Amino acid sequence: MTTLLTADDLRQSLAEDARTGLSASPKWLPPKYFYDERGSELFEEITRLPEYYPTRTERALLTERAQEIADASDAEVLLELGSGSSEKTRLLLDALDRTGRLTTYVPVDVSASALTQAMDALAEERPGLVLEGVVADFDRHLGQLPTPGRRMIALLGSTLGNYDRPGRARFLGSVAAAMRPGEGLLLGLDLVKDPGQLVAAYDDAAGVTAEFNLNALRVLNRSLGADFDPDGFRHLARWNAEEERIEMRLVAQDPARVELSELDLVIEFDKGEELLTELSCKFRRDSVAGELEAAGFRDLRWWTDPDEAYALVLAKR
């Protein structure tokens, strides 16, 4: 396993982002710090909720289309950004295996523990597969990722939706810059649909998403010596129709004063003040095609389920 991002680097970038975001108005935090051990568990739980259709829709699509995707990609290497538990990856690995060209799987994640777990399981299941895990932050290390053959780079789970439009242009531009001609980018994307269904997916009846959102405060408490009282905040998921995205926030139930001892920072919340913790942008075929082409991708292929809830897109560099 290669480490481009140590636990200390991650803490350092959390410190910088928390200082910037919590001092801003309105206040915000980037979602990548949700995924500590508890956060990753809660996210896995979210993917099994009845309201949260993206994971199971993506899995069904992959089950049906993995072979077409693998054939079209012509890849020798699957590099997966934000691989997490590498659960859906197996469908792609099986299909790539059947092309006879697959040699290597490169899972990339900010969580060393998630990577180790996923790689241990895969090593056992697939003795012939070379595993080159990389602990990295794909906002920083795209240019340093391994190229042990022609790659298909996968970003599944609609993770691209965490970026706003300018963020996506920057991200897709860096991905394109890190790729060789003929390599493929596979994106899983959640599509624009009925707002009621979208809000339900981010505000489930069992309250798991609320716990996931509030866990961000626990991460700050532990990593930065903060003293947030999670009980003093409420989970909010709102559909922003203009920007076509779900916005997750935490709302202060009362005025609050929070000390972040390791940042030497005190922040104040008014009653009702909101902290933006996550954007989850939803996509349309035409705008995705435009954004990919603008970033330097070509030969787009698009697969969707019968309800057009979710899409897989393969683009070539």
Contact between 89 and ligand AVJ by CB under 6 A: the answer reads no
Smallest distance, ligand AVJ to C-beta of residue 248, A: 6
Q: State how beta strands 245-252 and 151-155 pair.
A: unpaired
CA-CA distance, 189 to 206, in Å (whole number)? 25
Residue with smaller CB distance to ligand AVJ, 69 or 246: 246
Smallest distance, ligand AVJ to C-beta of residue 43, A: 6
Residue with smaller CB distance to ligand AVJ, 212 or 267: 212
Q: Which residue has the CB atom at the shortest distance from ligand AVJ?
A: 280
Smallest distance, ligand AVJ to C-beta of residue 30, A: 11
Smallest distance, ligand AVJ to C-beta of residue 208, A: 9
Which residue has tokens 């697959």?
A: 102
Contact between 162 and ligand AVJ by CB under 6 A: the answer reads yes
Instruction: Give the number of residues in contact with ligand AVJ, rule: CB under 6 A.
Output: 12
CA-CA distance, 133 to 101, in Å (whole number)? 19
Sites for ligand AVJ among residues 180-209 (CB under 6 A)? 202, 209
Segment near ligand AVJ (CB under 6 A); pick from 159-167, 215-223, 224-232, 250-258: 159-167
Which residues 6+ apart lie within 8 Å of 45 measured at CB? Answer: 208
Which residues 6+ apart lie within 8 Å of 205 measured at CB? Answer: 51
Site string for ligand AVJ, 52-71 (x = CB under 6 A): --x-----------------
Which residues 6+ apart lie within 8 Å of 153 measured at CB? Answer: 79, 80, 81, 175, 179, 183, 184, 185, 186
Rg over CA atoms, the chain = 20
Taking the CA of residue 45 as centre, how many other CA atoms within 13 Å lie in the half-sphere pointing to its CB? Answer: 16
Segment near ligand AVJ (CB under 6 A); pick from 105-113, 153-161, 285-293, 303-311: 153-161
Site string for ligand AVJ, 212-241 (x = CB under 6 A): x-----------------------------
Nearest to 295 by CA among 190, 155, 191: 155
Q: Where are the alpha helices (DSSP H) in the chain?
A: 7-23, 37-46, 53-73, 89-99, 112-125, 165-178, 195-202, 208-224, 285-294
Residue with smaller CB distance to ligand AVJ, 133 or 157: 157
Per the CB < 8 A criterion, the answer to whether 292 and 176 are in contact is: no
Sites for ligand AVJ among residues 243-282 (CB under 6 A)? 278, 280
Contact between 161 and ligand AVJ by CB under 6 A: the answer reads yes
Summarize as ranges the residues that interact with ligand AVJ (CB under 6 A). 46, 54, 157-159, 161-162, 202, 209, 212, 278, 280
